[in-house]
C-alpha cells in the first residue's frame, strides 16, 4: 500500500468521523456555558435536556426561572435539539412532554454531560437520574461532569460553601462509582472559553 493511498484513507476516515458524529446528551445546557459549548459541537447530534423546552426555545425570554437558548439560536445550530425531562424530581415536573425522555435520548447516547446548575438537592437528583437511566439503557456511555474548581465556589454563589462543595463531590462520586466511563472536569468558572474547549476536546476524543 503506497504512502499516498494510506494518506487518502486517513483523510476519508477523518471525514467519515465528522459525518457520523457522536450522540451527545447535555443536562443543563440552556445556561451561560451551554450557549458557548453548543455551537462548538456542530459535528455531533446534541440533545439538550431542559425542564421546559417551550420556554427555552421561545422567540423571546419571558422568565428567568428557566434556562433559555431562544428560537434564533436553535435555528443557527440545527444539530441541537431540546427535550423535556423530569430533572430527577418527579414531584416537581414543569415540562409538558417529559414522558419517555430517557428512551428517546439515552438509548442512543455516546456521551452524557452533567451541567445542571445550582447547588440545591436538585443537582444531586439530576445526577442520580441520569446515571440510573443510562445504566439501564446504555451503560457504556461516557459521563462527563462539569464543575468549578473549589476555590471558585464561594465566588459564584456565596454562603453555605461547605454544603455546596459536598454536593459537587457527591455528584462526581455518583458518576464515578456507577458508570464504566467517566471524566470529572474541574475548571475555572470565569474562563468560559477554556472551559468549553476542554469539554469539547473530551467529547471529540471519546471513541469507545
The domain 22-204 having CATH identifier 3.90.209.20: the answer here is: no
Mean pLDDT of 57-81: 94
Give pLDDT, residue 48. 98
What band does 22 get if pLDDT is binned at 50, 70 and 90?
Answer: very high
* Res. 51: pLDDT tops 70: yes
> By C-alpha distance, which of 100, 97, 95, 82 is closest to 52?
95
91-105: per-residue pLDDT in tens? 455 555 678 899 999
Which residue ranges make up each domain of the chain? 22-204
Give pLDDT, residue 66. 84
150-186: per-residue pLDDT in tens? 999 998 888 999 999 999 999 999 999 999 999 999 9
Give pLDDT, residue 90. 54
Amino acid at each position: 500500500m503506497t504512502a499516498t493511498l494510506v494518506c487518502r484513507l486517513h483523510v476519508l476516515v477523518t471525514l467519515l468521523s465528522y459525518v457520523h458524529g457522536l450522540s451527545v446528551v447535555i443536562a443543563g445546557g440552556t445556561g451561560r456555558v451551554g450557549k458557548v459549548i453548543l455551537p462548538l459541537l456542530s459535528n455531533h447530534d446534541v440533545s439538550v435536556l431542559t425542564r421546559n423546552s417551550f420556554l427555552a426555545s421561545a422567540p423571546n425570554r419571558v422568565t428567568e426561572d428557566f434556562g433559555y437558548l431562544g428560537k434564533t439560536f436553535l435555528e443557527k445550530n440545527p444539530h441541537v435539539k431540546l427535550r423535556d425531562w423530569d430533572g430527577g424530581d418527579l414531584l416537581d415536573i414543569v415540562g409538558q412532554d417529559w414522558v419517555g425522555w430517557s428512551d428517546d435520548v439515552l438509548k442512543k447516547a455516546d456521551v452524557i454531560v452533567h451541567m445542571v446548575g445550582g447547588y440545591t438537592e436538585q443537582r444531586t437528583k439530576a445526577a442520580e437520574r441520569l446515571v440510573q437511566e443510562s445504566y439501564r439503557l446504555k451503560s457504556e456511555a461516557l459521563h462527563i461532569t462539569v464543575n468549578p474548581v473549589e476555590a471558585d465556589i464561594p465566588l459564584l454563589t456565596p454562603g453555605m460553601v461547605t454544603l455546596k462543595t459536598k454536593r459537587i463531590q457527591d455528584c462526581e462520586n455518583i458518576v464515578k462509582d456507577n458508570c464504566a466511563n467517566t471524566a470529572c472536569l474541574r475548571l475555572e468558572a470565569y474562563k468560559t472559553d477554556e472551559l468549553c474547549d476542554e469539554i469539547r476536546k473530551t467529547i471529540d476524543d471519546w471513541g469507545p
